[in-house]
Structure 1
Amino acid sequence: MTSGIPYPFPGSPAQRRMELLEADQIARAAAGIPFTTQSACRAMAAVPGGFHPGAGWEYGAGADLLGGVLEVVSGKSLDALYEERLFGPLEMIDTGFYVPPSKIDRVATAWHRDPQFTRVTQVETPIRDARSEDVLTFMAAVEKIDTAPPAFLAAGGGCYSTARDYARFLHMLLNEGELDGVRILRPETIRFMRTPQLDHTQLDAKAAEGVGAGVPGYSYSNLLRILVDPAQARALGVNGHVGEYGWDGAGGNFCLVDPSLGVAAVFMMQNFEGAEPVLRRQLYKAIVADD
């Protein structure tokens, strides 16, 4: 998130440039000029960002661009690479970039909640074949159910999964990269992933961001929030220990790994207003002692 390349939102000039790019790519696809993960990543990388790489922090397309890099380095499509190196070895049998038609009836219902939490409304989740209709990021497609591999395999949030599968992934992280005798990552890689790396300028920029900044006391690195100051987090009722890490999802899902306690947890709420503030804090209190 320090690349300066944002997601397409109606906000800053860089975000609006990404919106224009997304609209152009969708129009070209509708006209019969399809795009791929790599061609979309090349287009995104060519859009002027909001700041020089490393000069700030902004929630954006960094993870999606890394997906394109993985395709180039491996010589494989991102879905094939994930299945070979992650989903298959971890026996994540219900995780992938689309939901097979035979599993459509298992897709959880999603909801919207109004700001006063007084009512919820069910989200319509149309089924689509995203080989001919897609967007550059998961942001606009999160309420749709893909039944075929999408044209753009979004490394920043394009997969469907279950609590069971995601718990296996988290336990692999908790076990320093290994689960059930299968090694996915080296221990030193896991330690690098959970090491805070933001400087003061980047931390200040993150504090000003609305996404991922709901609780103070956290730094960020390698697509993860990382707790560095438990006293600040506790001021808002969030218990935790130095080094606890994880992330939140657009649909209300939430995960954490706490190496000091040997605890990993995943929480899938299916609510597009997110897990903050009430349920997230209650989750912490339920699994982390108030010390």
Structure 2
Amino acid sequence: MPADNDLQQPAFNDAALARIDRVIQSEITAGRIPGATLLVERGGKVGLDKAYGSLRPDGTVAMTTDAIFRIYSMTKPIVSVAIMMLAEQGRLLISEPVSHYLPELANLQVAQETVAADGSRTMQLVPCEREMTIQDLLRHTAGLTYGIFGAPTLVKSAYTASGIESRHVTNAKLIACLATLPLAFQPGTTWEYSRATDLLGALLERISGQTLDVYLEEQIFQPLQMHDTGFWVPPEQHHRIAEPFAIDPVTSQPVRLIDVRSRPDFLSGGGGLVSTARDYLRFARMMRNGGELEGVRLLSRKTVEFMTSDHLVGMDQASSAAMYLPGPGYGFGLGFAVRTATGAAYTPGSVGDFHWSGLAGTYFWIDPKEDLIAIWLMQAPEQRDRYRQLVRNLVHASLA
């Protein structure tokens, strides 16, 4: 239910909903993206559940509302929920050092890089001032990074050289690689998008004794009836996979997405899942409802409040990194960007709304004040920033 319990009816402006259709169709007609799905719900009423354009870039098959998309980092909120379920069960404390469960990661060192006048880089290693905690992993302040995003550094080069960026790494190999690599920042100081949630997936495997696919299926997907969500698509459902253009029509860059037609070597807790809009709506409804859906409770109301609060409070330098992806007006909770101000951001919203997105262009947000859920799925990574803003503007304009 909405926080203020006074939403006006109807929940949507019909003329503005029709405009959403026109704008998205014009984007497809212009050849920017092959197709997409958009699902918008407010106050328990679905205002939009639409498929646009084509499932495949050749235009031979129409997009469907049950199309299966690679959701990449929209995997992260699901894995974060799984970790907090363990915390509620008393099986871990998020204040604990990661090395308590993964002793291979004890005694890590931090890289301090120096750039000379000629542009050459040198690096020296210093001890961690404190160990990374599970909370650090959940909020991306563990000191880890990705080797494939952002400006090049010696640490990022070391990531790439280690093989950690390969799709053929496993969660066991992920731990082994990270044990040999320096951290990019002192734990607890800087928000840096990173392998942190992949490491949470490996942690789930270590604690549960199950592979991540089995664990998430039993603990989250089956209870929430998310039947089309997993790490790969079974052969009989391959015809539902949404595909991108081979070359992005705006940037002229090649588009290469993960192969989801068979079980991968790497069950990536940070970016490996596929899903549909209707499946992800069930996860989002559970979060909007304070941890419960249709009589199934995964988390307590207080834990959901905790996860969707800003966990960067008091960390003055946390958002100073060049690639602070939550952006202005947002802090970061435990798996979600969390809005801290009505202004400052690029798009409308409410204090307390929370969201995340995926590399290939998928995006969702939940606005408890407006009792709003929106899920946008496409496969166009080069266009992801534009459409996150465009779709959010259009949806907020439709609220009555």
Same-fold call, TM > 0.5?
A: yes
- Other-structure match for 1:90: 224
Q: Distance in 1 between matches of 2:383 and 2:299?
A: 30
- State the number of aligned residues: 255
Contact 1:40/1:152 (<8 A) preserved: no
For residue 290 of structure 2, what is the amino acid of its counterpart?
E
- Other-structure match for 2:358: 249
Secondary structure at the counterpart of residue 227 of structure 2:
coil
- Other-structure match for 1:258: 367
Distance 1:23 1:79, change over 3 A: closer
- Other-structure match for 1:22: 163
Quick one: percent identity of the two aligned structures?
A: 33
Equivalent of residue 213 in structure 2, options 79, 99, 105? 79
Equivalent of residue 153 in structure 1, options 258, 267, 283? 267
Tell whether 2:288 aligns with 1:180.
no
Distance 1:120 1:109, change over 3 A: farther
Contact 2:147/2:165 (<8 A) preserved: no
The correspondence of residues 28-39 of structure 1 with structure 2, limited to 5 A, is 36-39=170-173
What TM-score does the superposition give when structure 2 sets the normalisation length?
0.59
Task: Please identify, of 61-70 and 9-18, the stretch whose mean Cα deviation from structure 2 is larger.
Answer: 9-18
Unpaired runs of 5+ residues, structure 1, are: 30-34, 124-141
Shift of 1:11: 1.2
Shift of 1:24: 9.5
Distance 1:11 1:286, change over 3 A: same
Distance 1:23 1:55, change over 3 A: closer
- Other-structure match for 2:393: 285
For residue 375 of structure 2, what is the amino acid of its counterpart?
V
Q: Distance in 1 between matches of 2:289 and 2:331?
A: 22
1:215-259 Cα shifts (integer Å, max 9, x gaps): 4211112221111122111xx3x1000011011110000000111
Contact 2:164/2:177 (<8 A) preserved: no
Tell whether 2:144 aligns with 1:5.
yes
Q: Distance in 1 between matches of 2:389 and 2:265?
A: 37
Distance 1:50 1:23, change over 3 A: closer
Secondary structure at the counterpart of residue 88 of structure 1:
helix
Tell whether 2:337 aligns with 1:240.
no
Contact 2:356/2:363 (<8 A) preserved: yes
Secondary structure at the counterpart of residue 282 of structure 2:
helix
Q: Which has the higher contact order (CA 8 A, sep 6+)?
A: 2
Unpaired runs of 5+ residues, structure 2, are: 1-139
Contact 2:290/2:300 (<8 A) preserved: yes
Tell whether 2:113 aligns with 1:113.
no
1:52-105 Cα shifts (integer Å, max 9, x gaps): 111212111000001111111111110000000011111111110111111111
- Other-structure match for 1:219: 331
For residue 86 of structure 1, what is the amino acid of its counterpart?
I
For residue 160 of structure 2, what is the amino acid of its counterpart?
E
Distance 1:178 1:39, change over 3 A: same
What TM-score does the superposition give when structure 1 sets the normalisation length?
0.80
- Other-structure match for 2:59: none
The correspondence of residues 186-205 of structure 1 with structure 2, limited to 5 A, is 186-198=300-312, 199-205=315-321
Secondary structure at the counterpart of residue 191 of structure 1:
helix
Q: Distance in 2 between matches of 1:88 and 1:68?
A: 21
Q: Distance in 1 between matches of 2:252 and 2:289?
A: 38
